[in-house]
Amino acid sequence: MNVATPLIGKCCVVTGGTGGIGLVTTRRLVEMGADVIVVGRDTGRCLAAKLAIQQTTGRDGVEFLQADLAELDAVRSVAETISKRWDHIDILVNNAGGMFGKRQTNSQGLEMTFALNHLGYFLLTALLLPKLNAAPERSRIVNVASEAHRRVKLDFDDLQSEKSYRGWLAYCRSKLANLLFTQELARRLDPQRVTVNALHPGFVATDIGVRHSLMPAFAWWLAKFAAISPEQGAATSVYLASSPEVADAHGLYFRKCKPVKPSPAALDSEAAQRLWDVSVRLTGMT
């Protein structure tokens, strides 16, 4: 197989690379020559994914670090490990995400969907920014969001869904948070040094719907017939992470490798700033 290797020498970080879209994203980046650090939650799944990637790519370009990204201390600890071992990062793909059928909280008492899908992205990015800024060439941040963001607005009076919880709505709000975070981060970054963009991968046949019992397994199995493959689902993540065509793209939202307009709620700069301030407070970042 003759695979182009435009990412030789590039150092990437991908979260949630043990399954679904993240696993394919990681494999494609490794195939293109990158060295990829994957942050995964489960050691066994990390080992299995590493073996599978080695076997299919014939390369040893992937290293797994274990961390539960719904736990802010674990995010801090893995960011510290990455920062000690690598002098720069060229590409960060924030991909790890989940849906939770019942309201759950992390050890800090933060609602799990918000903690994993939004604060995990926010804190890991903030902690790795010095390493992204240290890249010899312009580095990239890619945030995996979703079209699900179009269905909701953020309720700043109940960001933790304490008053009422519905798993799907909490998920939609967390994906809106991904877009507001992308917008506010884009405003704060120097795009000549670091760019940030978000994307919708499509409706992809992964296990996200059943992993945390949002949907009955049979319903999810049926729904998956309408879905695209994880290979197709990873295409826009890989495009934003690697293509020269989007070297200048910044603060945009992509679907099927094309920029599209997100919902009006995702373009609300006041909400973006407010979410940023709340996230700073909750994570203790300055």
Ligand X SMILES: NC(=O)c1ccc[n+]([C@@H]2O[C@H](COP(=O)([O-])OP(=O)(O)OC[C@H]3O[C@@H](n4cnc5c(N)ncnc54)[C@H](OP(=O)(O)O)[C@@H]3O)[C@@H](O)[C@H]2O)c1
Annotated catalytic residues are 171
Whether 16 and 22 have beta carbons less than 8 Å apart is answered as: yes
Shortest Cβ 17–ligand X spacing (Å): 6
- For ligand X, which residue of 12, 13, 204, 240 counts as binding (CB under 6 A)? 204
Per CB under 6 A, 111 contacts ligand X? no
Q: At which residue do the structure tokens 């299995």 appear? A: 48
Segment contacting ligand X by CB under 6 A, of 65-73, 132-140, 189-197, 244-252: 65-73
Per CB under 6 A, 231 contacts ligand X? no
Which residues does residue 105 pair with via DSSP β-bridges, in sequence order? 111
Instruction: Provide CB contacts within 8 A for 260, sequence distance 6+.
Output: 200, 253, 254
One-character DSSP codes across 105-135: B-TTS-BHHIIIIIIHHHHHHHHHHHHHHTS
Per CB under 6 A, 73 contacts ligand X? no
Segment contacting ligand X by CB under 6 A, of 53-61, 66-74, 181-189, 270-278: 66-74
Distance between CA 29 and CA 68 in Å, rounded? 23
Per CB under 6 A, 262 contacts ligand X? no
**Dihedral angle computed from the Cα positions of residues 237, 242, 245 and 251, in that order, rounded to the nearest 10 degrees:** 50
Segment holding 269, helix H or strand E: helix 269-283
Residue nearest to ligand X (CB): 20
Distance between CA 200 and CA 61 in Å, rounded? 26
Segment contacting ligand X by CB under 6 A, of 17-25, 132-140, 179-187, 276-284: 17-25
Q: How many residues bind ligand X (CB under 6 A)?
A: 29
Distance (Å) of CA 56 to CA 125, 140, 258:
29, 26, 29
- For ligand X, which residue of 41, 50, 118, 173 counts as binding (CB under 6 A)? 41
Per CB under 6 A, 16 contacts ligand X? yes
Indicate the residue among 20 and 61 with the shorter CB distance to ligand X. Answer: 20
Shortest Cβ 39–ligand X spacing (Å): 6
- For ligand X, which residue of 33, 167, 201, 262 counts as binding (CB under 6 A)? 201
Segment contacting ligand X by CB under 6 A, of 78-86, 91-99, 151-159, 183-191: 91-99
The three-state secondary structure class of 191 is coil
Per CB under 6 A, 206 contacts ligand X? yes
The three-state secondary structure class of 248 is coil
Binding residues for ligand X (CB under 6 A) = 16-22, 40-42, 45, 68-70, 95-98, 116, 144, 146, 200-201, 203-204, 206-208, 211
